[in-house]
Structure formats: structure tokens, C-alpha cells
Amino acid sequence: MADRRKAPRLLLYASPILVLSSLPVQAQENDNSGERRTRVILGPQLSPSWPGADKFSVGPYVDVSRTRDSEFVFEAPDESFGSPLLRSGSFAFGPAFGFIGKRTASDIGADLPKVGLSVEAGAFGQVNLTPELRVRIEGRKGITGHKGWTGEVSADYVARQGDDWLFSVGPRVTLGDAKYTRAYFGVTPAAAVISGLTAYDPGGGIQSVGVTAGYHRMLGKRWGIAVYGRYDRLVGDAADSPITRELGSRSQPSGGIALSYTFGGSR
């Protein structure tokens, strides 16, 4: 699943990465003149502990953005860590990073193989078809943990009044290759014997479909509040897995709330 959803156990491992990646990578320079402004969004978010889980974990909802005295570039509240390295007109391209907490037999409640802490790295491309409509595609490879490929196709409709308030909403389609899907939803014959579950060998493809909505509003010159909600529904092989049906859930909701603070600038 997407990518800003991090279990508390990840904080020890991921916090330095999040700080280092979000500060420079999320930097946005909209023009070359004007006084620089920096906006920090920080708060908690609740999300499934791993793909297909019916348990939830609290993690950080964090974002750092920069601009030069013009409005901040839109970022969806659930998108992966990373920011454009290349901009050309309405198109942007850059790195994408994600994290998924480990899943152990005791976590899931059955004697299944452990899936370790997954650190994912990849890239994204996005294009603004109109000022109000953005489409984004990204793919990430698990360097550790599941070691498969996962990705997402998303679209967002954005309504805003400068930086005073911004509302966004749009669909999500999450994908995973066979290695990724087998890590979280597969049951080998050996695991079936000791877990009591039916052996299951899923393939890759679409894992879930869903929708995300986000809202940010300034409460004054410096302070603001940000909230978002996301709902995904597992489909295909992920939904049909005995792990999902007996130990997890097809419904994968998440959400977060945070305060924002803007430094610098004349606003």
C-alpha cells in the first residue's frame, strides 16, 4: 500500500531517512525571485500495519515543502517520499521511497514466514493535465523485506484558494508483482501444513483500488491544519488469499491529521 503509511516500529529505523529525504527532496522552487518560505506539516496517521492487515498502527504524517513567495506546489497527502529532480512544463520526474513494517507470525496470528522491514526505492512521473487535474505513476523496488516491485497509479482533482485552503480528491490503483504479492498473500505448501491455511500461489497485478481525499487550511498567517482520509479495497489475488479472508481484511482504510507551520515570507 501506499507509502506514507508507516508502523510505529518503523520510527526507530526510518526517522533519520524521513528527515534526510523529506527536507531536501521535498523542496519546491516555483520561481527564482521572492523570499523563500518553508512549510512543515507534522502529526499522526493511522493505517494498516502491513498490506492486507486488519490491525492498525500509528505512524508519522510529515511533509516539508519550500517555495519562493508563491503558492506551494500541490502534493497528495498519501504520496511517497520524494520530489521532482526534473520539471518541464507540466511534467515532473523524480525519486520515490516507501517503507512497510515487518510482519511476523505472532503479528498475523498464524505460523507463516516473516516478511522483514521493507525499504522501497524507485521513481515517479507526474503530469498536470490541467491546473486542477494531476496524474501520477510510480514504481518502487523492495530493497529489503518483500524484495518485489510495487507501484501506484493515481489522479487528483485539486481545488484551492492560493495557500489559504486546498482540497484534493482522486482515485488510486495499487499494483504489485508476483514476488510482492506472494510475500504478503501467498501460502506455500510447507506453510499450509504448519499454519492450517490452504496453500495459495497468487500472481502479480492490481492489488487494490481506492480513493484519497485531503484538506489543508490556514488558521492564520503561520499556522494551519491538514487532514486526509484514504480507503482501499483489496481485489484479485490479494482479496482471494486465505490470509486476507481468515486473518486480515479486504478493507484498508487510513487517515491522518496534522498541524502545519510556515516559516519565512511576507504572507
80 in a structural domain:
yes
CA distance 40 to 38: 7
CA distance 247 to 220: 46
pLDDT at 15 (0 to 100): 42
Domain total of the chain: 1
- Which residue segment(s) compose the domain that 46 sits in? 10-264
* Per-residue pLDDT of the chain in tens (267 residues, 90 and over written 9): 334 444 343 443 344 344 434 443 344 444 445 688 999 999 999 999 999 999 999 999 999 999 886 899 999 999 998 889 999 999 999 999 999 999 999 999 999 999 999 999 999 999 999 999 999 999 999 999 999 999 999 999 999 999 999 999 999 999 999 999 999 999 999 999 999 999 999 999 999 999 999 999 999 999 999 999 999 999 999 999 999 999 999 999 999 999 999 998 765
**How far lies 135's CA from each of 47, 98, 233, in Å?**
24, 19, 20
- DSSP output for 30-95: --SSS-EEEEEEEEEEEEESSTT-S-EEEEEEEEEEEEESSPPPP--TTPPB---SEEETTEEEEE
CA 222 to chain centre: 26
3 in a structural domain:
no
2 in a structural domain:
no
pLDDT at 46 (0 to 100): 96
CATH of the domain at 135: 2.40.230
182 in a structural domain:
yes
5 in a structural domain:
no
4 in a structural domain:
no
Angle at CA of residue 183, ends 178 and 186, nearest 5° = 80
pLDDT at 8 (0 to 100): 40
On whether the CB atoms of residues 58 and 45 are closer than 8 A, the answer is yes
Contacts of 219 (CB under 8 A, 6+ apart): 225
Strands 36-48 and 91-100: unpaired
pLDDT at 16 (0 to 100): 39
Can you give the pTM of this predicted structure? Answer: 0.84
